[in-house]
Structure 1
Amino acid sequence: MSEPAAKHPRGLYFLFFSEMWERFGYYLMVGIFFLYMTDAQKGGMELDKGTASDIYGTFIALVFLTPFLGGLLADRVLGYRLSISLGGILMGIGYCGLAIKGDTAFYVSLGLIILGNGFFKPNISTLLGNLYSKPEYLPQKDAGYNIFYMGINIGAMVCNFVAAYMRNNYGWGYAFVAAGIGMFIGVLVFWMGNKEYREADVRKPVQANDMSLGKIFGIVLLPAVLCGIASWFLIPGNVFGSDSTDAFLFGALPIVFFYVSLYAKASAEDKRPIAALLAIFGVVVVFWAVFKQNGTALTTWAESYTDRTMPAVIAKPAETLGMVQRVDTEPKTVPAYDPMFRTTTDADGKVVTKQGVDPYLNNLEKGFWPKAGESLALISTELFQSVNPFFVVILTPVVVSFFGFLSRRGKEPSTPAKIGWGLFITALSTLVMVGAVYASDNGTEKSAGWWLVGTYAVVTVGELFLSPMGLSLVSKLSPPRLTALLMGGWFLATSIGNKLSGVLASMWDRYDNKAFFFLLNFAVTLAAAGAIFMMIKWLRGIVEEHTRRA
């Protein structure tokens, strides 16, 4: 009598820890990236928020563009294991490179991270899927991906505590090196499991209808690069606010036209599902434009407008663990963080805060300031970045159970409706921040940290309604020969949304009343939700028609 098949392939557990460590490094870096760029007190880059938001948005946009190229090269040329190893090493070097001072090292390091993510991110997920291609593992495929996804969120939660410890006790450079070490650990774990997924590393044979690499480079990628370069150097002024934004958005146009051409050239049978997907892509751009401000606008609110003090009984053990920032009343100079601080310029061209102290103290009542020679213990700003992954872990089973409850009663919304509700819930999350603005008298007083926690809780529900549903819709509606390309379209929409998140965040200083900033986010997200619901009958009909045909 033969032994029962294993519930999951052994390779899952190596990939789980590889991905956990990779996400540890990535989210550690992203969690402190904006803080590092705007820091003027402890060795940061001293950039203004507008410039930092632009760089941040461009970076996270390009991070979501390169997986299309990395996945393509792995499919056709390199294979998955080599691509994952190459990507992990490039990212590890890039994280460590951020510890080196100077613009050259900074931008080269960002380039290595962007390229490395392109090779690593799509291919480790594909390799996992290949592990479950054997009949004995196929029934457990969804559960395997859930376990794998848990690794992402564990890494994203834990990393910010390490970031806080390293940068508070040793400096920014050490925190970035910690991200690099985490990435290298992930690569080593991946190599340890090499024999477990050797058979799953199978390159896909080119089909008759597949576009050749040369054609993809010539028709899609080369025009995108040329348009980006041309817009950077030849267009006078800034059409969309900055040279990098112009270059990115104009560079994206040939790729957008390529996806529109898929619809124009499609058969009558394929036109409707492709049209539905293109409509979804266009609308979810707005979700990512708002959601990804967690690293910019919401980080600014956490840094300067949120009460981050803690009782002494908590501060002492927290400081032992390195989770505490300290501010004192020593005179400080900083860039112009906010017009409401009414800054002035000193003789050296530096901008002095209205009180001449650490920016955190500007909107804190003097009665709560530390005495001369003493300091104030604060929760490290980046720890708020762990709230979203925490809620993903906590709320995922709740959302899944909720949809199961509705399904048993025949009332479960369609996939497009879930995406619409996800956008609506995301819009509501921005209203929580409007409440924070009014509760803090437009930031003249510190707001309670619970406002940010509440915002993250609401937007996480929106994320769980929308993000998995979008990926599911692509897999449901895509013609088989175009599934990979249309999945690339989803990531293109994510990339453009990420870039626009930086554009929106760069408007922060234009609003004296910060409620108007968050109301702008509310308006654009609500409009996107409205667009989905206006199309809902059409979209639902296409999904039902395609499901019956399948």
Structure 2
Amino acid sequence: MKTPSQPRAIYYIVAIQIWEYFSFYGMRALLILYLTHQLGFDDSHAISLFSAYASLVYVTPILGGWIADRLLGNRMAVIAGALLMTLGHVVLGVESDTTWSLYLALAIIICGYGLFKSNISCLLGELYDRDDHRRDGGFSLLYAAGNVGSIVAPVACGLAAQWYGWHVGFALAGIGMFIGLMIFLSGHRHFRDTRGVDKAALQRVTFVLPAWGWLVAMLCVAPLFFTLLLENDWSGYLLALVCVFAAQMVARIMITSPEHRRALWQIVLLMVAGTLFWVLAQQGGSSISLFIDRFVNRHWFNVEVPTALFQSVNAIAVMVAGVVLAWLIRPEGSVRSVLRVWLKFAAGLTLMGAGFMLLALNARQGELHGQASMGMMIAGLALMGFAELFIDPVAMAQITRLNMPGVTGVLTGIYMLATGAVANWLAGVVAQRTTESQISDSAIAAYGHFFSQMGEWTLVCVALIVALVICARLLFTSSTPRMQESRHD
């Protein structure tokens, strides 16, 4: 049986997705190293800025989705976002003696990411009818494309930065985004059936100015606003306000839908567990990257491997493990136990904890022998990458099973807020423990103690989850016979 081909437009979406991941993860792999090596930031300052930036890129898609829904349409929002990200990387790629240009560049990228990130998936969704069975395959292709970009980016940008300088590495990330945008624009004729700019809404006057005037003003002011947040380390305040608003939305959904309240509480708990997981996983861009740069023996056949290249290990592990799991695991029945969902979460956290324990062992070996092992480092990072497959896909599938019109998208956005923005900000707070420990201990010992604590805390959480699953299972099995007896009476 011949499989129906995908819409032609998807290949242009996939192309820009690859290059967007290339630009974002290429810059992300260099950022913490650039702050500490080139700008001379101490670890505490560098980690704070890195976590604030990584947090804010997950806050802005909320506003970007609103702008696309009401004014620009998904395609124009994607184009505007790609242009802003290209501009941000260009500013970052220009050598400057001031840190203000760094904050401005990051702020522009944050704004661009807000317009791009959520709307690229929505644009892909527009290509299919509601019951089109090609939809799942299209989103799988988009996910795989992103992983390709995140694998290649740290290698290309890391080597460029090492051979030609930091700003060349950042500029290469910007060039990648521009290439993706040009490919995307070349396929404009395939997007004729997608929703375009709402011209009537743009011309509607509100508070003296038309909507397009307010939009232009916002695009000019927003980068300055985020620049001030980054420069003064105020991102936590904005995040707190957004989280209060999100909590109110969840509470309102629970009040108006009492029949779904139990399932909603389960999703809230999944959000909490997912946030914990990503607090640990996001150490890869900050504390783990600094450890690799300073203490891992990165020489391979008399060639020094750039620290940025290790950022590719995670994406490679996700790709390889995803293929293996898809081949080994058979589809389950239509009814999926909530207990099984939590056991998958426990499996993901176990792998994450095991990865940190391996890093702790590597740090102790490095303390004894002078340098940590590159092979053991790669193995630990691979375990952490493998763990991702047991977290987000499981949680997102559980959210979509609610089948509540007008609510699924909101809960998905709140889940991304928790596991993206909140987790990245908390990851910075947690990573500060490495700088505090170095006051009373040697640096490599401080990292070993930190990794060990992360692994221990994670495994304690796993034990708690497993215990709760066992208790719930016992309660369920013991209550079932009683229910059956009452029915016979």
Q: Give the TM-score of the pair, scaled to structure 1.
A: 0.73
Which stretches in structure 1 are left out of the alignment for 5+ residues?
A: 205-213, 215-224, 233-241, 316-377, 542-550
Distance 1:405 1:123 in 2: 30
**1:260 shift after superposition:** 4.2
Instruction: Give CA deviations for 1:89-148 in whole Å, capped at 9, x if unaligned.
Output: 00111111112322221111111111111111111111112212275xx22222222222
**1:198 shift after superposition:** 2.6
Distance 1:23 1:65 in 2: 18
Which residue matches 2:22?
24
Which residue of 374, 382, 405 corresponds with 1:457?
A: 382
Distance 1:271 1:76 in 2: 30
Which structure shows the higher helix fraction? 2
Which residue matches 1:262?
252
Which residue matches 2:129?
133
Pair 1:12-2:10 in alignment: yes
Query: What does 1:73-472 align with in structure 2 at a 5 Å threshold?
Result: 73-100=67-94, 101=96, 102-133=98-129, 138-201=132-195, 243-244=233-234, 246-248=236-238, 250-312=240-302, 315=303, 378-404=304-330, 414-441=340-367, 445-472=370-397
Which residue matches 2:217?
none
Do the aligned partners of residues 414 and 203 (structure 1) sit closer, same or farther apart at CA in structure 2, a change above 3 Å counting?
A: farther
Do the aligned partners of residues 411 and 282 (structure 1) sit closer, same or farther apart at CA in structure 2, a change above 3 Å counting?
A: closer
Do the aligned partners of residues 97 and 133 (structure 1) sit closer, same or farther apart at CA in structure 2, a change above 3 Å counting?
A: same
Letter in 1 for 2:119: N
Which residue matches 2:410?
485
**1:5 shift after superposition:** 8.3
Do the aligned partners of residues 5 and 461 (structure 1) sit closer, same or farther apart at CA in structure 2, a change above 3 Å counting?
A: closer
RMSD between aligned residues: 3.0
Pair 1:521-2:447 in alignment: no
| CA contact 2:91–2:105 (8 Å) conserved in 1 | yes
Query: What does 1:32-71 align with in structure 2 at a 5 Å threshold?
Result: 32-39=30-37, 44-71=38-65
Do the aligned partners of residues 433 and 259 (structure 1) sit closer, same or farther apart at CA in structure 2, a change above 3 Å counting?
A: farther
Instruction: Give CA deviations for 1:190-224 in whole Å, capped at 9, x if unaligned.
Output: 111222123133799xxxxxxxxx9xxxxxxxxxx
| CA contact 1:406–1:412 (8 Å) conserved in 2 | no
Letter in 2 for 1:465: F
| CA contact 1:276–1:539 (8 Å) conserved in 2 | no
| CA contact 1:277–1:477 (8 Å) conserved in 2 | no
**Alignment length (residue pairs):** 434
| CA contact 1:414–1:540 (8 Å) conserved in 2 | no
Do the aligned partners of residues 281 and 465 (structure 1) sit closer, same or farther apart at CA in structure 2, a change above 3 Å counting?
A: same
Letter in 2 for 1:269: E
Letter in 2 for 1:278: V
Which stretches in structure 2 are left out of the alignment for 5+ residues?
A: 199-210, 212-221, 475-489
Q: Give the TM-score of the pair, scaled to structure 2.
A: 0.82
Distance 2:4 2:329 in 1: 30
SS at match of 2:18: helix
| CA contact 1:284–1:528 (8 Å) conserved in 2 | no
Letter in 2 for 1:175: G
Letter in 1 for 2:288: L
Question: Which range is displaced more, 465-474 or 242-251?
Answer: 242-251
Distance 2:346 2:405 in 1: 26
Do the aligned partners of residues 529 and 194 (structure 1) sit closer, same or farther apart at CA in structure 2, a change above 3 Å counting?
A: farther
Aligned residues with identical type, % of pairs:
27
Distance 1:195 1:5 in 2: 24
Distance 2:253 2:268 in 1: 9
SS at match of 1:430: helix
Do the aligned partners of residues 105 and 81 (structure 1) sit closer, same or farther apart at CA in structure 2, a change above 3 Å counting?
A: same
| CA contact 2:9–2:190 (8 Å) conserved in 1 | yes
Instruction: Give CA deviations for 1:363-411 in whole Å, capped at 9, x if unaligned.
Output: xxxxxxxxxxxxxxx1111111111111122111112233328879x99
| CA contact 1:57–1:499 (8 Å) conserved in 2 | yes
**1:245 shift after superposition:** 6.2
| CA contact 2:55–2:423 (8 Å) conserved in 1 | yes
Instruction: Give CA deviations for 1:239-271 in whole Å, capped at 9, x if unaligned.
Output: xxx954652553344234324422552222122
Question: Which range is displaced more, 179-188 or 242-251?
Answer: 242-251
Instruction: Give CA deviations for 1:72-97 in whole Å, capped at 9, x if unaligned.
Output: 22122210011000000001111111
| CA contact 1:428–1:522 (8 Å) conserved in 2 | yes
